[in-house]
Structure 1
Amino acid sequence: MVKSVVSVLSLLAASASAFAPVVVSNQKTVVSSALHAEMSKAVPFVKAPANTAGYVGDVGFDPLGFSDYFDMKWLRESEIKHGRASMLACLGFVVQEYITIPGYTHVDDSNLAPQAVGVSAMLQIVLWMGVLEFWTNKGNVTMETMFSSPDRIPGNLGFDPMGLSVGKSQAEKDEMALKEIKNGRLAMLAIGGMIHHNWVTGEPLF
């Protein structure tokens, strides 16, 4: 009699479990959400790089996986500096078509400007940029030593002559940093297009 009761209860428990909430579906949803969260915002069909997370301007774009092999602080410093140089280059590329430094020959094609000013002027740029790089990094100019100090913030050279960051909250500073990064990225593409326009067409930009 007891065995019969136990058997009946076992069958009832087994049949009841068939009508229980489907946990597997929830697990699939959780796994799917986790996988979706790891996907890149910029390129949704590839996984987002883990090492870029938390940086201002991160959209999960690192198709060549540079952040897996190089120090992320060094990469961010490089991006910011190239962006700043490109913004200045875009401005100079246009200005030199209309303004000529006294004593120098005017050229319409900005790509010919280095030839117009000569080797000495170009070497001065390389020399003084090297001095500036050495000074701003206190002599630590290699990737291994540039960020030996944990307080070293990529791109922060303490240069704010107009006091634009004074009295700003961290959120406001991050917003300004994002604007600089986006404009820098645009300028890097722009200066490449401007240079190649002159090369391909043989004509000045404007």
Structure 2
Amino acid sequence: MAVAIGRGFPFQPCSVFKSKSIGKASLGLCGTESWPQPAGAETTRRCSRTRVAAQQEQRPTWLPGLDPPPYLDGTLAGDFGFDPLGLGEDPESLRWYVQAELVHARFAMIGVAGILFTDLLRITGLSKVPVWFEAGAVKYEFANTETLFLVQLLLMGFVETKRYMDFVSPGSQAKEGSFFGLEASFAGLEPGYPGGPLLNPLGLAKDIKSAHDWKLKEIKNGRLAMVAMLGIFVQASVTHVGPIDNLVEHLSNPWHRTIIQTLSSSSS
């Protein structure tokens, strides 16, 4: 009965059954005032099961009423029980997917911000930067394409190697001598969350173990950015212009310049 009540109400039954107002004739299983009184160990176990049931009932999921998989217990930031393919059943794979999603989310946030900013510069005439999907074909005067590619390959390879080594052996890249004596500038908080004055200049989430809210905000914005990036890819493929161009065109005639008219005209 305690479990059933825990699923139906937001409060925890253990605390309710401890109230003297319930009376000894009630069927409470957890409180010291209830009657009959179970054994101490059994009382603790029943209270724990009741609390777990109540917490699971209150936990938000991506689909209301859905029971999340047992390996997604809500401890991860942004865990809403979404894993229809069962990719996270293996704990080691789940660790890797968490880090992969975090990196992709950050790249997506940077990409969306860069595309929108350069599009605004181009639309307003402040700069003659190319549209984002043509930027890679531009020839820069300060270096040729081969040089830029090699520099990017070396820099990205170095950063990704360091990140992978820290994933395999958490904290190894913060040891003295592991980064030319600059370890304090990149003081790692935990895998996937570097810190220090360079990567955390505002000093946010210094205690990463209790920074669940910051992690949740970041992954939510990152997931939104990944969806936005997918939308930018699709609209560029269909309309062959940037996102700000599409927005300006839509605002010029909101009732007739919509995604429906755009898709229908492109397919005809």
User: In which range does the TM-score fall when normalised by the shorter chain?
Assistant: 0.5 to 0.7
Asked whether the equivalents of residues 76 and 154 of structure 1 are also in contact (C-alpha less than 8 Å), the reply is no
Equivalent of residue 215 in structure 2, options 166, 171, 177: 177
Asked whether the equivalents of residues 170 and 191 of structure 2 are also in contact (C-alpha less than 8 Å), the reply is no
Letter paired with 1:82: H
TM-score (normalised: structure 1) = 0.65
TM-score (normalised: structure 2) = 0.51
TM-superposed CA distance for 1:122, in Å, is 4.6
Asked whether the equivalents of residues 74 and 147 of structure 1 are also in contact (C-alpha less than 8 Å), the reply is no
TM-superposed CA distance for 1:40, in Å, is 7.8
Matched, 1:84 2:111: no
**SS of equivalent to 1:203:** coil
Asked whether the equivalents of residues 41 and 60 of structure 1 are also in contact (C-alpha less than 8 Å), the reply is yes
Tell me which residue corresponds to 1:205.
243
Equivalent of residue 63 in structure 2, options 19, 24, 43: 43
Asked whether the equivalents of residues 52 and 72 of structure 1 are also in contact (C-alpha less than 8 Å), the reply is no
Structure 2: state its 5+ residue gaps. 9-52, 123-127, 173-188, 245-268
Number of residue pairs aligned between Structure 1 and Structure 2 = 167
Question: What's the C-alpha RMSD, in Å, of the aligned pairs?
Answer: 3.5
Equivalent of residue 115 in structure 2, options 80, 84, 93: 93
Matched, 1:164 2:204: yes
Letter paired with 1:192: L
Tell me which residue corresponds to 1:107.
130
Tell which structure's C-alpha radius of gyration is larger. 1
Tell me which residue corresponds to 1:195.
233
What is the CA–CA distance in structure 2 between the aligned matches of 1:123 and 1:52, rounded to whole Å?
Answer: 41
TM-superposed CA distance for 1:90, in Å, is 0.5
Asked whether the equivalents of residues 73 and 154 of structure 1 are also in contact (C-alpha less than 8 Å), the reply is no
What is the CA–CA distance in structure 2 between the aligned matches of 1:180 and 1:91, rounded to whole Å?
Answer: 15
Structure 1: state its 5+ residue gaps. 1-25, 100-104, 141-145
TM-superposed CA distance for 1:177, in Å, is 1.1
Q: Which has the higher contact order (CA 8 A, sep 6+)?
A: 1
- Report % sequence identity: 28
Matched, 1:67 2:88: yes
